[in-house]
A and B are shown apart, each in its own frame.
Chain A
């Protein structure tokens, strides 16, 4: 008889709602059950706003923070009556498997997230972890791997959307010698937590993707640069790296081959700009996270001056599943989003690339809270913009969002209802960029200060008629003259308001 598995989400969000305490509370029941019941802590189960979440087979329950003791008693009773398969924790709503939030997903990157215990490499291996790495190092040439990635059409999931296969080929073409693979896990956009979800829920997928990339480009050293605000992700990655080394999936003689790859974690210390690749390189080297002009691109001169491949968490996490499915079956892939803000059901979801915003926000997220209506959806964080409600049928892909003056960014999606003051939101993002500007180049250092002042002036209804023109002009200057992506994109939220909600800015003039 196989044990019935009760899975409790112990990722950050459910943890803050008591998920870990529930897991601890139910564990003794499982221990006393012989082998009939297993209680496992797992990564994100999806609809975080209904957390803490518990899954038994396909059934997902919103526990809404009941005390662990009565829950344990009820579970014990179900066990005694042999009714585990139909057990319903008292007072806890069931989220049916055909709920749009679950039904419309295509979970490739999050395949094992919420299914396996992220702290157990045995569980990951039993669900297929490192199978692609084994196949690749023992049977594929690096060129064949790069070709598969190229044919899949995979593009960088960090926001810019650069073709991943092309990036890999560029680094692979650099003269042989030491090369470096870097995973950008500095997920700094406020409202974005897709990468945290992957690292907390299935860290081995990321490590496998990095190792395959290292094999493809000829690197033997790797870094994961994680932000300090993600302690659980850091802890689980550390554990995963140690376990993978012990099982020879990292380190020397990987899977019995001559391929060697060592991974180190570098923890940031709170600087948004370190998500910019040249700043990230300086930070890994132990310096100030200040960007530098490109070229030379990191592919040529990256960490310690060596040719370096930099991809973000989700990009690497796509690689094993892309190889498993084959590039044709994988295409066009998926995108993981974090859905938050004024929405009934929020959390982490993975949908086919090109799903419409309306599907995500209205069908899956259930739309705005009762009595309110959606005004816009903010995507791309401080570098992105707002898509007004009238454009909700836009498919979510790199080009469509760019055409509307927003960006896909890393996948943070904040729903804004009709109570949102768009000018205040623009000022909020500008204050963020002003605070996070590294100060190296003048347009960004001074421009963000002036732009924020102008927006505050508008908000305080003290603006003069010429101020709107000045705002627009200065936005163009900062966009065109800044050194790095942070400065170049800092005006985007303002451009977005100028384009879609100009009347709100003009109303501030009176």
Chain B
């Protein structure tokens, strides 16, 4: 997605980012705990997920108990504690998408055993471009007006390409 800077959904981890991006973010917040969510977002963007090592590092640097860091991180849907698969397909389940057939898309995609082919299947609660409903987001790219058949075509072409 063009210009996406902070979005943890559907985005591939930016391994090319400077290795000290996390350290810079910690410094930007003056090692203060109110920056925790932004710092976690930065760490997840860098590594693709929040590993125990990363969480421990953040806790130590902010002088917070690990339980508090994990407690905050686990509260929010967009933080993840397992490494991501190469591809990600999100079905929008907002109201407009729901009434226009999102449940059918989800049902069709669930049949596909996508994880075995390197693609996660998830849901997102409205990305606010409902005129394209029902829509799916594959690796950050929005595909409007999907039918079960077109969504299957899209994931099949993606799930076979390695990143």
Contact = CB atoms under 8 A, between A and B. Distances in A.
Interface of A: 12-13, 15-17, 20, 48-49, 51, 187-193, 196, 228-232, 234-235, 238, 266-272, 283-290, 304, 338, 340-342, 346-347, 378, 381, 412, 414, 416, 420, 425, 428-429, 432, 438
B37 to A, nearest CB: 6
B76 A268 contact: yes
A285 B99 CA distance: 37
A390 B38 CA distance: 48
B124 A229 contact: yes
A287 B39 CA distance: 12
B71 to A, nearest CB: 6
B96 A191 contact: yes
Contacts of A341: 95-96, 99-100, 130, 133
Contacts of B35: 286
B85 interface: no
Nearest to B94: A190
B130 A16 contact: no
Given A191-B94, A269-B78, A288-B71, 9 more contacts: A12-B129, A15-B2, A16-B142, A17-B132, A190-B94, A232-B4, A269-B41, A287-B72, A429-B95
Nearest to A227: B128
B153 interface: no
A439 B37 CA distance: 20
For chain B, what secondary structure do more than half of its interface residues adopt (helix, strand, loop), or is it mixed? Answer: loop
B8 to A, nearest CB: 6
12 contacts: A15-B2, A16-B143, A189-B126, A192-B126, A229-B7, A229-B127, A232-B3, A270-B79, A288-B72, A289-B75, A338-B128, A432-B125
A416 B33 CA distance: 45
Given A15-B2, A414-B96, A425-B99, A269 B129 contact: no
A347 B131 contact: yes
A346 B99 contact: no
Nearest to B34: A286
B147 interface: no
A271 B76 contact: yes
B151 to A, nearest CB: 15
B39 to A, nearest CB: 8
Nearest to A192: B128
Given A229-B124, A229-B128, A289-B76, A190 B95 contact: yes
A93 to B, nearest CB: 16
Contacts of B96: 190-191, 340-341, 414
Contacts of A289: 75-76
Contacts of B38: 266-267
B126 to A, nearest CB: 4
A347 B96 CA distance: 12
Going nearest first, the 3 A-B pairs with the smallest beta carbon separation are A190-B94, A193-B128, A270-B77
Nearest to B64: A286
Contacts of B1: 231-232
